[in-house]
Protein backbone atom coordinates (compact mmCIF):
# COMPACT_ATOMS: atom_id res chain seq x y z
CA UNK A 1 0.00 0.00 0.00
CA UNK A 2 1.19 3.50 -0.78
CA UNK A 3 2.44 5.44 2.27
CA UNK A 4 0.18 8.32 1.32
CA UNK A 5 -2.86 6.28 2.34
CA UNK A 6 -1.60 4.99 5.67
CA UNK A 7 -2.23 6.82 8.89
CA UNK A 8 0.90 7.82 10.74
CA UNK A 9 0.45 6.56 14.29
CA UNK A 10 2.38 7.15 17.43
CA UNK A 11 1.43 3.87 19.09
CA UNK A 12 4.65 3.86 21.07
CA UNK A 13 3.97 7.41 22.20
CA UNK A 14 0.46 6.78 23.51
CA UNK A 15 1.53 4.94 26.64
CA UNK A 16 3.65 6.04 29.54
CA UNK A 17 5.65 9.20 28.98
CA UNK A 18 8.74 7.83 30.70
CA UNK A 19 11.49 7.63 28.15
CA UNK A 20 13.41 4.38 27.83
CA UNK A 21 16.31 4.24 30.23
CA UNK A 22 14.85 6.73 32.67
CA UNK A 23 14.08 5.36 36.10
CA UNK A 24 10.43 5.26 37.10
CA UNK A 25 9.41 6.61 40.47
CA UNK A 26 8.64 3.86 42.96
CA UNK A 27 4.91 3.65 43.65
CA UNK A 28 3.72 5.83 46.51
CA UNK A 29 6.94 7.83 46.82
CA UNK A 30 7.70 11.48 46.34
CA UNK A 31 9.98 12.88 43.68
CA UNK A 32 12.66 14.37 45.92
CA UNK A 33 15.26 16.57 44.28
CA UNK A 34 17.77 19.20 45.26
CA UNK A 35 17.21 22.87 44.36
CA UNK A 36 20.02 22.55 41.78
CA UNK A 37 18.38 19.45 40.26
CA UNK A 38 15.02 21.22 40.05
CA UNK A 39 16.64 24.21 38.32
CA UNK A 40 18.46 21.89 35.90
CA UNK A 41 15.22 20.12 34.87
CA UNK A 42 13.35 23.44 34.67
CA UNK A 43 16.06 24.92 32.41
CA UNK A 44 15.90 21.86 30.15
CA UNK A 45 12.11 22.19 29.92
CA UNK A 46 12.28 25.90 29.09
CA UNK A 47 14.99 25.29 26.45
CA UNK A 48 12.85 22.63 24.80
CA UNK A 49 9.78 24.89 24.84
CA UNK A 50 11.42 28.17 23.86
CA UNK A 51 14.28 27.10 21.56
CA UNK A 52 14.29 23.47 20.36
CA UNK A 53 10.61 22.95 19.60
CA UNK A 54 10.06 26.21 17.67
CA UNK A 55 13.18 25.50 15.59
CA UNK A 56 11.97 21.98 14.67
CA UNK A 57 8.42 23.22 13.96
CA UNK A 58 9.90 25.77 11.56
CA UNK A 59 11.97 23.07 9.83
CA UNK A 60 8.98 20.73 9.51
CA UNK A 61 6.81 23.55 8.18
CA UNK A 62 9.44 24.45 5.58
CA UNK A 63 9.95 20.79 4.62
CA UNK A 64 6.19 20.20 4.28
CA UNK A 65 6.04 22.94 1.62
CA UNK A 66 8.64 21.11 -0.48
CA UNK A 67 6.23 18.55 -1.87
CA UNK A 68 6.35 14.77 -1.49
CA UNK A 69 6.60 14.15 2.24
CA UNK A 70 7.14 10.39 1.96
CA UNK A 71 10.70 10.87 0.69
CA UNK A 72 11.47 14.17 2.38
CA UNK A 73 14.20 13.49 4.98
CA UNK A 74 13.89 16.88 6.66
CA UNK A 75 10.15 16.37 7.11
CA UNK A 76 10.39 12.78 8.35
CA UNK A 77 13.27 13.44 10.72
CA UNK A 78 11.66 16.68 11.92
CA UNK A 79 8.37 14.91 12.75
CA UNK A 80 10.26 12.18 14.60
CA UNK A 81 12.33 14.73 16.53
CA UNK A 82 9.19 16.74 17.33
CA UNK A 83 7.58 13.63 18.87
CA UNK A 84 10.72 13.04 20.96
CA UNK A 85 10.72 16.65 22.17
CA UNK A 86 7.01 16.56 23.00
CA UNK A 87 7.48 13.30 24.93
CA UNK A 88 10.37 14.80 26.90
CA UNK A 89 8.34 17.97 27.60
CA UNK A 90 5.48 15.85 28.99
CA UNK A 91 7.92 13.83 31.09
CA UNK A 92 9.67 16.91 32.53
CA UNK A 93 6.37 18.67 33.20
CA UNK A 94 5.03 15.66 35.12
CA UNK A 95 8.25 15.24 37.12
CA UNK A 96 8.47 18.94 37.99
CA UNK A 97 4.78 19.03 38.98
CA UNK A 98 5.30 16.30 41.57
CA UNK A 99 8.78 17.39 42.65
CA UNK A 100 9.45 17.93 46.29
CA UNK A 101 12.51 20.15 46.58
CA UNK A 102 14.61 19.30 49.62
CA UNK A 103 17.55 21.56 50.41
CA UNK A 104 20.42 19.46 51.78
CA UNK A 105 22.07 22.54 53.31
CA UNK A 106 19.34 22.44 55.99
CA UNK A 107 21.30 19.54 57.54
CA UNK A 108 24.69 21.31 57.36
CA UNK A 109 26.81 20.23 60.33
CA UNK A 110 24.77 17.08 61.00
CA UNK A 111 26.44 13.67 61.18
CA UNK A 112 23.26 11.79 60.20
CA UNK A 113 22.59 10.71 56.62
CA UNK A 114 19.61 12.36 54.95
CA UNK A 115 18.71 13.22 51.35
CA UNK A 116 21.48 15.33 49.79
CA UNK A 117 24.29 14.03 52.01
CA UNK A 118 27.76 13.32 50.70
CA UNK A 119 28.76 10.12 52.49
CA UNK A 120 32.13 8.42 52.71
CA UNK A 121 31.85 4.78 53.72
CA UNK A 122 34.26 1.87 54.05
CA UNK A 123 33.71 -1.81 53.34
CA UNK A 124 35.15 -4.70 55.38
CA UNK A 125 38.42 -4.55 53.36
CA UNK A 126 38.85 -0.89 54.36
CA UNK A 127 38.19 0.41 50.84
CA UNK A 128 36.54 3.82 51.00
CA UNK A 129 34.01 5.26 48.57
CA UNK A 130 32.23 8.60 48.54
CA UNK A 131 28.73 9.12 47.17
CA UNK A 132 26.19 11.94 47.16
CA UNK A 133 22.53 11.02 47.59
CA UNK A 134 20.39 12.89 45.05
CA UNK A 135 17.03 12.70 43.29
CA UNK A 136 16.12 10.04 40.74
CA UNK A 137 16.18 12.51 37.83
CA UNK A 138 19.44 14.24 38.80
CA UNK A 139 21.78 11.47 40.01
CA UNK A 140 24.85 10.92 37.84
CA UNK A 141 26.80 7.75 38.63
CA UNK A 142 29.87 9.06 36.81
CA UNK A 143 30.05 11.92 39.34
CA UNK A 144 29.56 9.64 42.36
CA UNK A 145 25.89 10.59 42.73
CA UNK A 146 23.28 7.93 43.50
CA UNK A 147 19.52 8.08 43.59
CA UNK A 148 17.92 8.10 47.02
CA UNK A 149 16.12 4.87 46.06
CA UNK A 150 19.37 3.03 45.21
CA UNK A 151 20.20 0.14 47.57
CA UNK A 152 23.34 1.87 48.89
CA UNK A 153 21.40 5.06 49.64
CA UNK A 154 18.57 3.12 51.32
CA UNK A 155 21.12 1.32 53.51
CA UNK A 156 22.85 4.56 54.51
CA UNK A 157 19.80 6.78 55.11
CA UNK A 158 19.33 7.75 58.78
CA UNK A 159 22.66 6.22 59.83
CA UNK A 160 25.34 8.35 61.54
CA UNK A 161 29.10 8.66 61.34
CA UNK A 162 30.62 5.56 62.92
CA UNK A 163 27.54 3.38 62.35
CA UNK A 164 27.82 0.03 60.63
CA UNK A 165 25.01 -0.84 58.22
CA UNK A 166 24.12 -3.92 56.22
CA UNK A 167 24.06 -3.69 52.42
CA UNK A 168 22.67 -6.46 50.26
CA UNK A 169 24.96 -6.87 47.25
CA UNK A 170 24.97 -9.43 44.43
CA UNK A 171 27.75 -11.19 46.35
CA UNK A 172 25.69 -11.36 49.55
CA UNK A 173 25.26 -9.29 52.69
CA UNK A 174 28.08 -6.80 53.25
CA UNK A 175 28.77 -4.66 56.30
CA UNK A 176 29.86 -1.07 55.60
CA UNK A 177 30.86 1.66 58.04
CA UNK A 178 29.86 5.30 57.69
CA UNK A 179 33.13 7.24 57.85
CA UNK A 180 32.02 10.82 57.13
CA UNK A 181 28.81 12.72 56.39
CA UNK A 182 28.87 16.18 54.76
CA UNK A 183 26.27 18.63 53.54
CA UNK A 184 26.68 21.81 51.49
CA UNK A 185 26.80 25.05 53.44
CA UNK A 186 23.59 27.08 53.49
CA UNK A 187 23.46 29.91 50.95
CA UNK A 188 25.13 33.02 52.32
CA UNK A 189 27.04 31.13 55.02
CA UNK A 190 30.66 32.13 55.54
CA UNK A 191 33.13 29.31 54.99
CA UNK A 192 34.87 28.11 58.15
CA UNK A 193 38.65 28.02 58.21
Q: What CATH number does the domain containing 52 carry? A: 1.10.287.180
pLDDT of residue 190: 60
Residues 132 and 118 sit within 8 Å (Cβ to Cβ):
yes
**Residue 16: inside a domain, yes or no?**
no
3-state secondary structure of 30: coil
Res. 18 pLDDT band, cuts 50 70 90: very low
Measuring CA to CA, which residue among 95, 90, 94, 88 is closest to residue 32?
95
- Choice between 5 and 75, residue whose per-residue pLDDT is larger: 75
State the total domains in the chain.
Answer: 2
Q: How many CB atoms within 10 Å of residue 88?
A: 18
Res. 67 pLDDT band, cuts 50 70 90: confident
**Residue 63: inside a domain, yes or no?**
yes
pLDDT, mean of residues 154-166? 95
Q: Which is it for the CA torsion 77, 80, 86, 89, positive or negative?
A: negative
Which domain covers residue 163, as residue numbers? 104-182
pLDDT, mean of residues 97-108? 92
Residue 68 pLDDT greater than 90, yes or no: no
Residue 6 pLDDT greater than 60, yes or no: no
pLDDT, mean of residues 161-169? 93
pLDDT of residue 9: 45
**Residue 17: inside a domain, yes or no?**
no
pTM, rounded to two decimals: 0.74
Same domain, residue pair 93 and 109: no
Measuring CA to CA, which residue among 165, 163, 162, 167 is closest to residue 150?
167
Amino acid sequence: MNKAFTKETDAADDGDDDLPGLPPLPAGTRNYMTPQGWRMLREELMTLLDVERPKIVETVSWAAKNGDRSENGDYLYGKKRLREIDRRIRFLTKRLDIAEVADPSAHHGSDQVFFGATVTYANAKGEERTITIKGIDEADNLKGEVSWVAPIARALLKSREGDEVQLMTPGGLETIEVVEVRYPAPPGATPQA
